[in-house]
Amino acid sequence: MRERSRPLSIAVLACTLAAAAWGQEGRTVRIIPEAPEVGAAFTVEASLPDERAEAIVPSEPGVSGPALYTGADVRPGDGGNAAVIEYRFIVTGIGRIDIIDLTARSLNRWIHLGSWSLESVAGVQPLPARLGSWDAPRTVVAREIFRIATLGPDGAPIACPAFAVEGALFEPIPGVPGAFYAVALDAGTLRLPALEIGGAGDACSLAARSIESRPLPPSAAKARAVGGSWRLELAAPRPGATVGLDEIVAWDLRAVGRGWPGLAAPPSLSVVAPDGTLPQTGGGTAYSSGTGSALGVVSGARGVFSVSGPGTYLVRPEPYPWFDTSTGTLRMASAAAVRVIVTARREPAWQAPDGVADFARRSLAALAEGDARWEPLLAAADTGDNPDWSAIRLAALGSAGVGSGRGALASARFTGPGAKDTAAALAALGLLAAGRDAESRAESYCVFLRLEKAAFPLRGVSGMADAAATSFGNLLRVSYVLPPFGWTAALGACFAIVACCAIAAVMIAARSDEGARRRRSGIRVVAVVSAVLGASSLAISAASAVERSVPRFVSLGGQARSVPSELAIQGPAIEAGRTGRVLRYADRWLFVETDDGRAVWLVGDDAALY
C-alpha cells in the first residue's frame, strides 16, 4: 500500500481542487471514487440545481486513457428541485484518464460541465478476463456443410462480425446472432481466428480453434455432391413428347438436395437414337441456384440435341453419385428415362403455277432460235397437257453442260449469247420437276434471284422468284427498293445526251440572228432539266448497284452451328429455301444472318450464293 500512496494523494488533491473551483450557477461535479482501481467502476456525478430531471438528456463524453464509458443515469436531486446526472465508467488499466466535454441537453438548451482528469491506480484484484468460445465440430468432410457459433462467457450466443478463413466459405444464419453455415472447400486444417467481440459491457475474447477437414474416402472419389439427401429430376423433355423430323429437342436435368450453391457438380444424360447411335448432347450448360429453403440447392444442366430420323429416342439420365455424410457411404440418385417420339412430316408435292410452264417454254423458244440443240426440248415441252418435266430437265442440264448433283445448278456460271435464257430455262424446269425436292426448288430460287439482280433482268424473272418463294412459305421475301441499275443508267445517259445537245444548240443560237437568240432561253431550260434528270438517274443507278452488291444466300438445307467446326453442337436446322445475308467467309464456312434475324455458321455446301 505504501507504493501507491503518492499517486493516490496527487489524484485526491487534483480532484479536490477541481471540485472546489467548479461551481457555475451552483452546479457541482464530483468523481466517485477519486482514484479508482483497475477493473473497478467509477462515477462522475453532476448536480444541476433548478433543473427538472425528466427534461435532462445526457450526451456521451469523450474518453482518453484506460477507461470505458458504460452509460449515464438522471435522477432528481435532494428536495426535488434539482437534477443529478451520473456518468458511469470502468477502468481498464493504470494511468491518466481524461473525460472530455461533459454535456447534457435540457429541452432546447445545452449544459456544458467541462472536462476532467484523474489517475487510476493498480487494484488489489486483477481485471477478470471474459472468455468466450467457438461452438464448432472437431472434424468435417470436405464440401460438407456444418454449423458454427460464437458463445459468450455464460454459454449464450453472442453476435459476431463477419470474418474470413482461407479454404472455407461462411454464410450468416438469418435471425441467429453469432451463428454461421460453413463449408471446407478441400481437405486440410481450418483455423478459426482469435477474436475480440461484444460491446463495452459484455466484451469477451475468443481463442483460435482448429477444425480438421477430411477428404472423401476412396470409395466415394466419384461423388458429385456431398451432404444430405439428393434426388434427380428430368424437367424436360416431358414423357411422350412428339417432335418433327430434323427438329431440336431441349433437355433440362437437375439434382436437388442439401448443399452449398456451386459446389455440387451438375448431372449428365445420354440419348439413344432408334438405330442405337448416341446423338451429341454437348454436356449442356451448367447452372446452380437455391431452392428457397434452408440449405436447399439445385445443380443442373440444360442443353439440346438434334433428331435425324423418325422413331423413338430414349433420353436417359445418368445416375448421380453423392456422398452421405451421416452414413459415410456413396449413394446414387436416379431418374426414369423419357421417350421422345419423332414423326416424319409428309408434305404434299408442290405444284408449280401455270405461269412457270409458260415461262419455261418462252425461254426454250428463245434458245431454240439460236441453237438447234434446244429444239427437241421445246417440242417435248409443247406436247400434251402433262409433259415429263423431269426428263426435259435432265436433257436440258446435259445440253447446258451442268451436272445434276446437289448445288450444281446454283454454282453454274453461264456466259456467251443466251446465257440469261439458259439460266432462266434451267431454273424454271427445276421448279416444274422438283415436286417434293426442296433442294432443287431452292437452287432454282437462287438462280431467279441472281437474274433479278442483273443490270437488265429478263422479263418475268421477278414473278418466277415470287413463285419459288411461295413454295417455301416465304410469303414476304426480301425485294429491292430501287429499280435495276442498268435501265436507270441508260435513262441517265439519254438525259445527258439531251442536255449536251441542248447546250450545243444554245451556243449556236448565241451566234445566230435575233430570233434564234430569243429561242435560246427555252433551249437553256431543256438543257438544265435534262442535266438534272440525268444526274438523278445516274445517282439512282449507282445506289441500285450498291443495294444489289450485298452478298446473299439461299439455304439448301443444313444445320446451324455456333462456331465454324464440325465438332460444334448442332443448332436448329436452316430449312431449304430460307434466305439471308452473308456476313463473313471462313474457309468452307459461311457466317450468315437469316431474314428472321438468326446469326449462325453454315457449311458452304449447304448454301447457294447470289
pLDDT, tens digit, for every residue of 109-135? 999 999 999 999 887 555 556 788 999
Q: Quickly list DSSP for 215-230.
A: PPPGGGTT-SEEES-E
CATH number reported for the structural domain that contains residue 569 in this entry: 2.30.30.40
Residue 376, judged by CB atoms within 10 A of its CB (0-12, 13-18, 19+), counts as middle
Q: 9 and 113 share a domain?
A: yes
The pLDDT mean for the chain works out to 84
Q: Are strands 209-214 and 139-141 parallel, antiparallel or unpaired?
A: parallel
Q: 599 and 524 share a domain?
A: no
Q: Which three cell numbers stand for residue 418?
A: 443466251
What pLDDT was estimated at residue 386? 78
Structural domain count, the chain: 6
Q: Give residue 517's pLDDT band: very low, low, confident or very high (50, 70, 90).
A: low
- Residue 422, pLDDT > 90, answer no
* CA dist., res. 508 & res. 510, Å (int): 5
Q: Are strands 204-206 and 188-192 parallel, antiparallel or unpaired?
A: unpaired
Average of per-residue pLDDT across 588-592:
91
CATH number reported for the structural domain that contains residue 145 in this entry: 2.60.40
Q: Model pTM greater than 0.85?
A: no
Q: 570 and 507 share a domain?
A: no
Task: List the Cα angle 52/53/56 in 5-degree steps.
Answer: 95
Task: List the Cα angle 211/213/214 in 5-degree steps.
Answer: 140
What pLDDT was estimated at residue 19? 41
- Per the structure, the complete domain to which residue 508 belongs is given by 485-548
What pLDDT was estimated at residue 117? 94
Cβ-Cβ contacts under 8 Å for 217 (sequence gap 6 or more): 328
pLDDT, tens digit, for every residue of 479-488? 778 888 777 8
Q: 364 and 452 share a domain?
A: yes
Nearest alpha-carbon partner for 33 in 47, 48, 19:
19
What pLDDT was estimated at residue 14? 44
Q: 335 and 261 share a domain?
A: yes
Range with the largest mean pLDDT of 184-188, 302-306, 513-517: 184-188
Compute φ and ψ for 104, nearest 5 degrees: -150, 160
Within the chain, what is the greatest distance between any pair of CA atoms? Answer: 144
What pLDDT was estimated at residue 582? 92
Please report whether residue 183 resides in a domain: yes
- Residue 549, pLDDT > 60, answer yes
Please report whether residue 348 resides in a domain: no
- Residue 13, pLDDT > 50, answer no
SS3 state of residue 302? strand
Average of per-residue pLDDT across 323-343:
93
SS3 state of residue 573? strand
Stronger pLDDT, 587 or 527, i.e. the higher one: 587
Distances (CA, A) of 300 to 232, 266, 305, 311, 569: 9, 5, 17, 28, 19
Q: 358 and 456 share a domain?
A: yes
Cα R_g (the chain), whole angstroms: 47
Q: 538 and 520 share a domain?
A: yes
* CA dist., res. 514 & res. 492, Å (int): 33
What pLDDT was estimated at residue 59? 92
Please report whether residue 158 resides in a domain: yes
- Residue 347, pLDDT > 60, answer no
Q: 84 and 164 share a domain?
A: no
* CA dist., res. 509 & res. 520, Å (int): 6
- Residue 364, pLDDT > 70, answer yes
Please report whether residue 207 resides in a domain: yes
- Residue 201, pLDDT > 70, answer no
* CA dist., res. 360 & res. 424, Å (int): 8
Nearest alpha-carbon partner for 258 in 217, 226, 233:
226
User: Which residue stretches of 511-549 are H helix?
Assistant: 514-548
Q: 375 and 314 share a domain?
A: no
Q: Give residue 22's pLDDT band: very low, low, confident or very high (50, 70, 90).
A: very low
What pLDDT was estimated at residue 3? 39
What pLDDT was estimated at residue 12? 41
What pLDDT was estimated at residue 314? 93
What pLDDT was estimated at residue 20? 37
Q: Give residue 7's pLDDT band: very low, low, confident or very high (50, 70, 90).
A: very low
Q: 305 and 339 share a domain?
A: yes
Q: Which of 523, 548, 573 is the last residue of a domain?
A: 548
Q: Which three cell numbers stand for residue 6?
A: 503518492
* CA dist., res. 361 & res. 414, Å (int): 19
pLDDT, tens digit, for every residue of 64-76? 998 989 889 898 8
Q: Which of 422, 446, 471 is the last residue of a domain?
A: 471
- Residue 99, pLDDT > 90, answer yes
- Residue 4, pLDDT > 50, answer no
Please report whether residue 184 resides in a domain: yes
Strand partners, 120: 95
Compute φ and ψ for 472, nearest 5 degrees: -105, 5
Compute φ and ψ for 201, nearest 5 degrees: -90, -20
Please report whether residue 221 resides in a domain: no
Q: Give residue 513's pLDDT band: very low, low, confident or very high (50, 70, 90).
A: low
Q: Which three cell numbers stand for residue 305?
A: 440435341
Q: Give residue 349's pLDDT band: very low, low, confident or very high (50, 70, 90).
A: low
Q: 507 and 564 share a domain?
A: no
Strands of 188-192's sheet in order across: 139-141, 209-214, 188-192
Average of per-residue pLDDT across 402-415:
83
Count of positions (residues) in the chain: 610
Average of per-residue pLDDT across 163-189:
93
Lowest mean pLDDT among 15-19, 445-449, 583-587, 606-610: 15-19
Lowest mean pLDDT among 220-224, 243-247, 301-305: 243-247
Stronger pLDDT, 519 or 104, i.e. the higher one: 104
SS3 state of residue 423? helix
Q: Give residue 515's pLDDT band: very low, low, confident or very high (50, 70, 90).
A: low
Please report whether residue 222 resides in a domain: no
CATH number reported for the structural domain that contains residue 291 in this entry: 2.60.40.10
What pLDDT was estimated at residue 230? 95
Q: 66 and 152 share a domain?
A: no
Please report whether residue 480 resides in a domain: no
Lowest mean pLDDT among 19-28, 390-399, 463-472: 19-28
Q: Which of 120, 149, 170 is the last residue of a domain?
A: 120
- Residue 345, pLDDT > 70, answer no
pLDDT, tens digit, for every residue of 248-260? 899 999 999 999 9
pLDDT, tens digit, for every residue of 180-195? 999 999 999 999 998 8
